[in-house]
Structure 1
Amino acid sequence: MPSVPPTSRSLSIMTFAEARRSRSEDRRISPVFWVLLAVLGTSGWAVWSGYGNSGFGVFLFVVAGWMVSLCLHEYGHARTALHGGDISIGAKGYLTLNPLKYTNVLFSFVLPVVFVILGGIGLPGGAVYIERHRIQGRLKHSLISAAGPLVNVLFAGVLLTAVGAGWFDDPDRLIEIGGRTLDLSPLPAALAYLAMFQVSAALLNLLPVPGLDGYGIVEPWLSPKVRRAVEPFAMYGMLAVFALLWQPQVNRLFFDVVYGITELFGVDRGVIWIGDYLFRFWNH
């Protein structure tokens, strides 16, 4: 029996169905992100219940939480860009929360995690390629740049509120250091330490320095002449910021601001220091 060629109507239905399926796949949450959430939840339960080594549990919890926040930070940029007019975002895989889809996995994911482990500072990641020419209006461009740091602000607010309100305090599981029992449980210390990274990342990212999101917020409002003059220095902006942070006086001032913010929520810097102590389980 001869085959019947598809009609224009059937072709349009097929095209529509394929387009819907493609959009669905573009926005399906990646298994990589689900694994990160599983590690976060499992390690959080272990720290809360006292299962296993508390220091190693805090380490896993903080690293997994930081990875999740990096994914959400980039998702904030991507989702805002999508609604701003860049319809290419989905095809790039940015809406799947898969960090392996970022333009530069090293700078967006690997180095921020390494800095958390070694340096104790929330290094701003960031590399979702946004086709800016598709987006009309300076306000939209500013909102796209602001979306990532605002995710860190929200993340920090939730964590600090939980710790400050004592939601996870457990008098039956208190921390012991050097034979001394502290009036603090491991999970609040871990949450406070993770919150510190969110605050530091938001502060750094909001600096109006080329290469950081803060500059992306103000850039659309600058004159073309100023933007052209600043553009060659964009790749050095983050390096300059971290070179300054290596200076003891600047580092002390920066963390005084970070701890000042956490203390607004009733989270003393001592709680964060204890979280740092537990996190570095290999030192004790």
Structure 2
Amino acid sequence: MDAQLLDHLRWGALSLILLVISIGLHEFGHAWVADLRGDLLPRAQGRVTLNPLAHADMLGTLLLPGIMIFLPILMGHPLPFGLLGWGKPVQISLANPRTRQMDDILITLAGPAMNVVLLVALALVGQVAGVAAAGPGNHDFAKFLATGILMNAGLAAFNLVPLPPLDGSRVFYRLGIYSTEVFHLLSQWSFFILLICINTSYFSEVVWWLMTPFMLLASAIWPVFG
């Protein structure tokens, strides 16, 4: 096995670990805020934990991303830039009718917010450690941090797209932008709608546009992307 392939496999494994952690923190965000808002269900189901494996979906967190990462590498191609993955959805009860709408919005936004918190933390590590992408001896560490920042900016942005089952659609529904009928109709056909959308250049442009403020925030802290 040549050195280049080993290096690609190493970065593939690191990327998968980063994705598992990032998805786990996203789902933890939902569960934690639900717990703060008095929803007992996530804690009862063991979801108020930082353990990423508690939030992992076998297909969406491990198998599909693993195939997307390692299959191209084994076929002689570089690591893919974009990955598709998801975690085990956090179940909530929204038992209080007086605060149900606000609770749902806060719980929903907590997932993408946690990805933003993580990318800020990674940027701070890069800034405090003084690493630069071109710095001798620091290249791998800087690449690891930059990969995590890009990944979490992408996860936050992707989940804010207002298409079920993504978080943005639920916010649109609770704000009244989507009627109940429209939301349920979109949810019914969500798999096919999302499958079509992710294969269009327009969808990619929307995600990049949503990523922009997060990348600007990271660059303001650690100007490695400038």
Normalising TM by the smaller chain, what interval? Answer: 0.7 to 0.9
In structure 2, the residue matched to 1:9 is none
TM (norm. structure 2) is 0.72
1:220-248 CA deviation, whole Å, 9 max, x = no partner?
Answer: 2328x911332132154365345323224
In structure 1, the residue matched to 2:104 is 141
Structure 2 residue 169 is matched with structure 1 residue 215: yes
C-alpha distance in structure 2 between counterparts of 1:132 and 1:240, whole Å: 27
Superposition misfits of 4+ residues, deviation over 6 angstroms: none
C-alpha distance in structure 1 between counterparts of 2:127 and 2:212, whole Å: 13
Equivalent residue for 1:63, pick from 16, 40, 59: 16
Structure (1 or 2) with the larger CA radius of gyration: 1
Structure 2 residue 65 is matched with structure 1 residue 113: yes
1:1-284 alignment, distance < 5 Å: 55-99=8-52, 101-102=54-55, 105-106=57-58, 108-110=60-62, 113-114=65-66, 117=69, 119-123=80-84, 125-126=86-87, 127-134=89-96, 136-137=98-99, 138-163=101-126, 167-169=130-132, 171-173=135-137, 185-222=139-176, 226-237=179-190, 239-248=192-201, 250-251=203-204, 254-255=207-208, 258=211, 261-262=214-215, 265=219, 266-268=223-225
* Residue identity opposite 2:94 in structure 1: R
C-alpha distance in structure 2 between counterparts of 1:257 and 1:79, whole Å: 24
Pair 93,153 (structure 1): closer, same or farther in 2 beyond 3 Å: same
User: Is contact 1:54–1:186 with CA below 8 Å preserved after alignment?
Assistant: no
State, as a whole percentage, how many aligned pairs show the same letter: 21
The RMSD of aligned alpha carbons is 3.4
Pair 159,141 (structure 1): closer, same or farther in 2 beyond 3 Å: same
Deviation at 1:209, TM superposition (A): 2.0
Deviation at 1:171, TM superposition (A): 4.0
Ranges in structure 1 where 5+ consecutive residues have no aligned partner: 1-52, 175-184, 270-284
Deviation at 1:186, TM superposition (A): 1.5
1:166-188 CA deviation, whole Å, 9 max, x = no partner?
Answer: 623484426xxxxxxxxxx1111
TM (norm. structure 1) is 0.59
